[in-house]
Amino acid sequence: GRRPVFLSDDVVARLLRYDDLIPRLEAVLGKFSLRDSAAVVQPVRSVMPVVDHNGFLGLMPAYVAYEGILCAKVVAFYSREEGSSLPSTQATVLLFDPEFGNVAAVMDGLDITHKRTAAVSAISAKLLSPAQSDVLCILGSGHQALSHYEVFMQLFSFKEVRVWSRRMEMAKQFAASVQGSVTVCSSVKETVDGADVIVTVTNSSEPVLFGEWVKPGAHVAAVGACRPNWRELDDVLMRDAVIYVDSREAAAVESGDIILSGAKVFAEIGEVLNGTSPALREKTTVFKSLGMGIQDAICAKLVFDKWKSNQ
């Protein structure tokens, strides 16, 4: 039958694992950076404001031809008041049969969004963090903070993990909710002091991380601020760091940190993976992540294949 299956968030979460995901994400990011439309087609997402609710709806189609994956994610993201009980992100993924064009599966896209974003940040850290990385900092304590914590703990062996959140009680809750030991800090300056890897995962639209506080040589994975007038990083950091992105085209239209600072993009992560651009890990590096449809497509196919093999 041609009737799509529906996979709920708990099913998706159970089937999606970082160790399956990371090599496939590395492969697709590399293919993307070749700009070979016979292998990967992925336009910059179209984003429509949802004016009454201070939010946006993004449509993220992707065709990963070399894997036979046709997919589209629809993602809603809202600028919520801190402490709001309303969700800041919702997502649904449609996986198509590329031959017929029908929808084979509809799946909740929240766990996919959390995990693939964190996995891509971890890939950036594998390539760009200082050779000796002891201290990890997470700025923000929401969903992305948690997925980033999980995958960074799986992949690396930091001696210390610190977390900051604008409301300290949220950082305390975060620290209490995870298994390992996490130091809760009261200011960003104190959190990032001497840190090797800094993950920014806030809903802020203004800079929270300032270059003067960042240790030379540190690596920053900047995950929030996905609108052209939103910032998470200041001009000093954007000017002093070597800037890597997931997609040059997306960065040029969506990243306030890049557009408003006038910073030059040095390379895509895919170019580093392909060996066509160097990983300057001894320099201060920023990976400006915006999120890509190809990342969701890879996850959706993984989940669907695993689900089918369990039937």
Ligand X SMILES: O=C([O-])C1=[NH+]CCC1
- Is residue 169 a contact point for ligand NAI (CB under 6 A)? no
- Is residue 124 a contact point for ligand NAI (CB under 6 A)? no
Question: Amino acid identity of 303?
Answer: V
Token output for 276:
């066509």
Strand locations in the chain (E)? 5-7, 40-41, 46-50, 55-64, 69-78, 89-96, 103-108, 135-139, 160-164, 183-184, 197-200, 219-222, 242-245, 265-268, 285-288
**Checking DSSP bridges between strand 242-245 and strand 285-288, what pairing results, if any?**
parallel
Footprint of ligand X on residues 85-144 (CB under 6 A)? 89, 113
Cβ pair 117, 144 in contact under 8 A: yes
Minimum distance from residue 309 beta carbon to ligand NAI (Å): 28
Q: Is 214 exposed, middle or buried (0-12, 13-18, 19+ CB in 10 A)?
A: buried
- Of 202, 247, 261, 285, the one binding ligand NAI (CB under 6 A) is 202
Per rule CB under 6 A, count of chain residues that contact ligand X? 7
- Is residue 199 a contact point for ligand NAI (CB under 6 A)? no
- Of 129, 133, 165, 285, the one binding ligand NAI (CB under 6 A) is 165
Give the CA distances from residue 187 to residues 163, 176, 310, in Å, rounded to whole numbers and listed in that order: 10, 19, 47
- How far apart are the C-alpha atoms of 105 and 107, rounded to whole Å? 6
- Is residue 77 a contact point for ligand X (CB under 6 A)? yes
Minimum distance from residue 27 beta carbon to ligand NAI (Å): 18
Cβ pair 258, 265 in contact under 8 A: yes
- Is residue 166 a contact point for ligand NAI (CB under 6 A)? yes
Q: Helices 168-177 and 143-155 sit at what angle, rounded to 10 degrees? A: 40
- Is residue 88 a contact point for ligand NAI (CB under 6 A)? yes
Footprint of ligand NAI on residues 125-164 (CB under 6 A)? 140-145
- Is residue 224 a contact point for ligand NAI (CB under 6 A)? yes
Q: Which does 133 bind (CB under 5 to 8 A by kind): ligand NAI, ligand X, none?
A: none
- Is residue 287 a contact point for ligand X (CB under 6 A)? no
Q: Return the closest-CA partner of residue 88 out of 119, 65, 116, 110.
A: 110
- How far apart are the C-alpha atoms of 86 and 37, rounded to whole Å? 39
- Is residue 270 a contact point for ligand NAI (CB under 6 A)? no
- Is residue 208 a contact point for ligand NAI (CB under 6 A)? yes
- How far apart are the C-alpha atoms of 260 and 279, rounded to whole Å? 25
Per rule CB under 6 A, count of chain residues that contact ligand NAI? 26
Would you say 255 or 284 has its CB closer to ligand NAI?
A: 255
- Is residue 226 a contact point for ligand X (CB under 6 A)? yes
Residue 261 makes CB contacts below 8 A (sequence gap 6+) with 233, 234, 235, 238, 239
Q: Looking at beta carbons, which residue is closest to ligand X?
A: 291
Minimum distance from residue 198 beta carbon to ligand NAI (Å): 14
Judged by the rule CB under 6 A, the positions of this chain that interact with ligand NAI are 77, 82, 88-89, 113, 117, 140-145, 165-166, 170, 201-204, 208, 223-224, 226, 289-291
Judged by the rule CB under 6 A, the positions of this chain that interact with ligand X are 75, 77, 89, 113, 226, 290-291
